[in-house]
Chain A
Amino acid sequence: MNVLEIKGSLFDLLSEVKDKEGLLKIREFIIEFINQRKEGDKDWWDELSGEQQSQLRKSIEETERGENLIPHEEVMQKIEDKFKSIAK
Chain B
Amino acid sequence: MNLTVQWKSEAIEGFFNIVDYYLENGWNQAALNFRENVDKKIDAIIIFPGGGRPTKIFKNVRYVLIDKHSRMYYMYGEETLTILAFFDARQHPAKAPSKRCSNSMASATTVLVTSALLKALAANPPDVMVIKAPTSAEGLLDFVSSTVGSSQSSVGSWQQGGGEEGKTQHSSPSTQHFLTPPISALIYNPKDIKQAIYLPFAEFSPEWQAMLYAKEKNIPIRFMDLPMTLSFALDDQEKNVIQRKMEVEEKITKEEQQFRQDPMGYLAHLAGYTDSERWWEVMFKS
Report whether B52 and A32 are in contact in the complex, using a CB–CB cutoff of 8 Å.
yes
- Cβ–Cβ contact A28 & B84, under 8 A: no
Q: Is B119 an interface residue (CB 8 A)?
A: no
Contact with B along A72-88 (1 / 0, CB 8 A): 10010011001100111
* Residue interface mask A51-70, B partner, CB < 8 A = 1: 11001101110110000111
Contact A55 B43 (CB under 8 A): no
Tell me what chain A mostly uses at the interface: helix, strand, loop, or mixed: helix
* Minimum C-beta distance from A25 to chain B (A): 5
B65 — nearest CB in chain A belongs to which residue? Answer: A35
B 45-82 contacts with A by CB, 8 A? 47-48, 51-53, 55-58, 61, 63-65, 73, 75, 82
**Pairwise interchain contact A60-B44, C-beta atoms closer than 8 A:** no
Contact residue among A29, A58, A69 (Cβ-Cβ distance under 8 Å from B44): A29
Residue A2 CB within 8 A of the other chain: no
Q: A25-B44, A88-B243 are in contact. Are A51 and B8 (CB under 8 A)?
A: no
Q: For residue A75, which residues in chain B have a CB less than 8 angstroms away from its CB?
A: 7, 12, 83
Which chain B residues lie closer than 8 Å to A36 at the CB level?
53
B243 touches A45 (CB 8 A): no
* Chain B proximity mask over A15-58: 1 for CB below 8 Å, otherwise 0: 00000000011001100110110110001110011111001101
Contact with A along B245-261 (1 / 0, CB 8 A): 01000000000000000
Interface residues on B, range: 35 or more
How many residues on chain A are close to B (CB under 8 Å)?
38
- In angstroms, Cα B12 to Cα A78, docked, is 9
Give the segment of B28-36, B129-137, B214-222 that binds chain A.
B28-36
Of the stretches B97-105, B149-157, B189-197, the one at the interface is B97-105
Give Cα A23–Cα B274 distance, bound, in whole angstroms. Answer: 24
* CB atoms of B8 and A25 under 8 A apart: no
Instruction: Give the interface segment out of B15-23, B169-177, B229-237.
Output: B15-23
- Nearest residue (CB) in B for A62 is B8
30 CB-based A-B contacts, threshold 8 Å: A25-B40, A25-B43, A28-B40, A32-B65, A33-B51, A36-B53, A39-B53, A43-B56, A44-B63, A45-B56, A49-B104, A51-B102, A52-B85, A55-B10, A59-B84, A60-B61, A60-B75, A63-B8, A63-B84, A69-B82, A71-B7, A72-B42, A75-B12, A79-B35, A82-B16, A82-B19, A83-B31, A83-B35, A86-B242, A87-B246
